[in-house]
Structure 1
Amino acid sequence: MQKDQMKTPYFMINEDKLIENLEKAKQLKEMSGIKLVLALKCFSTWGVFDIISPYLDGTTSSGPFEVKLGYETFGGETHAYSVGYSEDDVREVANICDKMIFNSQSQLAAYRHIVEEKASIGLRLNPGVGYAGQDLANPARQFSRLGVQENQIDQSVFDTIDGVMFHINCENKDVDAFIHLLESISERYSEHLNKLDWVSLGGGVFFTWPEYDIQKLALALKAFSEKYRVQLYLEPGEAIITQTTDLVVTVVDIVENGMKTAIVDSATEAHRLDTLIYNEPATIFEASDSGEYRYIIGSCSCLAGDQFCVTNFDKPLEIGQQLRIQDSAGYTMVKLNWFNGLRMPSVYCERSNGQIQKLNEFTYEDFKRSLSQWKVT
């Protein structure tokens, strides 16, 4: 398939860029002895798991369907975690997960009998420290429901579980800040960690960021692992797929009300939700900081404030022109929705050999079926 034959909007995943990140993951594993499990909450496009799975050790989840997806399509270890399990959830995945991590001591007590003899059991702990650019994404925020607070732990629980999870980072690009958090965990839980078989340090460690000191991170992880004789895990999501994918859109209209707005055939609320939630403007490949033509890149949804960014171009935009919205893999395809009945982006992968592979395509029937399937008679 040729790119000029493809209808926008669509996501284009680049295999070579994905492998660049995965090679860094491989380097981290080899230097530290850590295991890496892909966070499916960030990226679940299983059509490219054949690229990712040889580099990683498995998957981790935030809900029962993700557990099933990881088990069926990725292989390796399957970690199950949820902020709040139902008994049905636990029974549904107990036989297919390698590790089940509970968010609270009450859930652990209620459901561990279902999991024992089937999977390794863990508990999420909240040490009260974390790293996040926004409070909305900070696991250690005030009144956090994520994990057991240090002052609420029943100390005997460490004799009854196999491992713990500390997920306290979000887009942490600062290796020294991460090491500081690791030292804090070591100080707070030192008397308990050596009773465990494994410790997950969660996700949000952006070790594929340009100029990130992977060696420094690896040495800190290796020292922690050797000190407590535990197998360490990280749960990367964004770190694996950052800068690998464009959301390709077409300018369908240009309007002006104090500033020119190029309306494209996509929407943040439907196709790139985190742009809206976190108020983080998108980056357009064709834009130019020094360009003299300034535009709002607006969506075709009815939400008044739905826009991708405000940016400059060297030349005036034209109706029918395509734009590439960069870094559009993480928390996009897993959050797609049918708001306004907009056309859902197709998903493609440009393989290393130049071949373009269609991974998914959506139709009106998918939209219709998502809303109701049976007619009341």
Structure 2
Amino acid sequence: MMQKSELKTPYFMIDETKLIHNLEIARKLKELSGVKLVLALKCFSTWGVFDIIKPYLDGTTSSGPFEVQLGHETFGGETHAYSVGYSEEDVKAVADLCNKMIFNSQHQLATYRHLVEGKASLGLRLNPGVSYAGQDLANPARQYSRLGVQASQIDAAVFDTIDGVMFHMNCENKDVDAFIRLLDNISANFGAYLNQLEWVSLGGGVFFTWPGYDIEKLGAALKQFSEKHGVQLYLEPGEAIITQTTDLVVTVVDIVENEMKTAIVDSATEAHRLDTLIYNEPASIAEADEQGSYEYVIGSCSCLAGDQFCTARFRQPLKHGQRLHILDSAGYTMVKLNWFNGLRMPSVYCRRSNGEIQQLNEFDYSDFKRSLSQWSVC
């Protein structure tokens, strides 16, 4: 059996037991509410563990054509297709693969519906004008938002020609009461339209697996909404399914000092944990201890001056060759890996419930080279 000490860093380690813990909560929500859950592939697309997830969820949802194809091929169930902007080629490519196709605008719906009718259920994204998001960058209802049709621009006649709608207005919403207020707002302002439809997706960003989240209250609210408007409800969880399941394991390769000590590790936020950099949210280190006497910047090995994971305290001084576990490194991480600086790409492993470590992927120089050019013109 493969041992952790044998694995070359950097690598991601997905824990099946922790993943199942989240999935059991998802199962309970489905039972309480009647909602269907489709995995948001924009957050997590590591299909090597879909065998664990598939028994609990109803399918996948996408934000681009390749995600549609991946969901169709590797997950099955319902395959929802959405894009902020389809090309005609995109629509033709996925129309035969998806069960539902959701357009971002009334213009795109009118332009391409003839390519989808008779193949998939038609939907339209609406922007409710309200949202729950911690950062403006991730706020679907931000000023000048391009995401979905604004209420003032809706052509009521369109609801006679579609089967469902999608709202996406949450990002890491851990407050069930805040979500219910959004739900009530949608019901009050869009209810007459929803009553004509077969299904409604409420998007993702509802963090129902967060510790202490009132799953019963959420389930009751979803059930009441569904029954009031006579629709099948969907949620599109991503982070809620894979939160706290995966570590990015790195090695300290150097320690330098410039007023503060910096432990340089063999990974980089720019290349391997991009959301840490984009949203300026420090990572958490399993080995850290807030009461520790030894403080370090955990810095990356990229050339970007501000590329660091976090500042952390430790009980003992860090050493060259020591391994650190960067926690909660699944969501919006593996889907955003890149080859900046030509750094070694992390391998991907899964620790199965029986203790076995399964390799899902590994990369080498040939992958780096092929990502940049395939053919020589010289």
Using the size of structure 1 for normalisation, the TM-score is 1.00
How do 1:126-137 residues align onto structure 2 when only pairs under 5 Å count?
126-137=127-138
> Which residue in the other structure is 2:290 paired with?
289
Gaps of 5+ in 2: none
> Which residue in the other structure is 1:368 paired with?
369
**CA–CA separation in structure 2 for the residues paired with 1:373 and 1:55:** 39
> Which residue in the other structure is 1:46 paired with?
47
Give CA deviations for 1:353-372 in whole Å, capped at 9, x if unaligned: 00000000001000000000
**Structure 1 residue 270 displacement after superposition:** 0.1
Give CA deviations for 1:179-218 in whole Å, capped at 9, x if unaligned: 0000000000111111000000000000000000000000
Q: Which stretches of structure 1, 4 residues or more, deviate above 6 A after TM superposition?
A: none
Using the size of structure 2 for normalisation, the TM-score is 1.00
> Which residue in the other structure is 1:239 paired with?
240
Q: Residue 338 in 1 paired to residue 339 in 2?
A: yes
1:64 partner amino acid:
P
**CA–CA separation in structure 2 for the residues paired with 1:332 and 1:204:** 16
> Which residue in the other structure is 1:183 paired with?
184
**CA–CA separation in structure 2 for the residues paired with 1:369 and 1:166:** 38
Q: Residue 271 in 1 paired to residue 272 in 2?
A: yes
> Which residue in the other structure is 1:107 paired with?
108
How do 1:81-160 residues align onto structure 2 when only pairs under 5 Å count?
81-160=82-161
Give CA deviations for 1:122-146 in whole Å, capped at 9, x if unaligned: 0000010000010000000000000
**CA–CA separation in structure 2 for the residues paired with 1:25 and 1:5:** 34
1:287 partner amino acid:
A
> Which residue in the other structure is 1:203 paired with?
204
> Which residue in the other structure is 2:360 paired with?
359
Give CA deviations for 1:76-109 in whole Å, capped at 9, x if unaligned: 0000000000000000000010000000000000
Give the SS at the match of 2:140.
coil
> Which residue in the other structure is 1:58 paired with?
59
Q: How many aligned positions are there?
A: 377
> Which residue in the other structure is 1:318 paired with?
319
**CA–CA separation in structure 1 for the residues paired with 2:303 and 2:107:** 44
**CA–CA separation in structure 2 for the residues paired with 1:352 and 1:191:** 48
**CA–CA separation in structure 2 for the residues paired with 1:269 and 1:82:** 25
> Which residue in the other structure is 1:30 paired with?
31
> Which residue in the other structure is 1:216 paired with?
217
Aligned-residue Cα RMSD (Å) equals 0.3
Give the SS at the match of 1:349.
strand
Gaps of 5+ in 1: none
> Which residue in the other structure is 2:15 paired with?
14
Give the SS at the match of 1:369.
helix
**CA–CA separation in structure 2 for the residues paired with 1:190 and 1:20:** 35
Q: Residue 306 in 1 paired to residue 307 in 2?
A: yes
Q: Residue 225 in 1 paired to residue 226 in 2?
A: yes
Give CA deviations for 1:138-161 in whole Å, capped at 9, x if unaligned: 000000000000000111111110
Q: Residue 250 in 1 paired to residue 251 in 2?
A: yes
**CA–CA separation in structure 2 for the residues paired with 1:191 and 1:251:** 59
**CA–CA separation in structure 2 for the residues paired with 1:204 and 1:265:** 31
**Structure 1 residue 264 displacement after superposition:** 0.1
1:112 partner amino acid:
R
**CA–CA separation in structure 2 for the residues paired with 1:190 and 1:330:** 33
**CA–CA separation in structure 1 for the residues paired with 2:324 and 2:192:** 55
Give the SS at the match of 1:352.
coil
**CA–CA separation in structure 2 for the residues paired with 1:173 and 1:136:** 18
> Which residue in the other structure is 1:192 paired with?
193
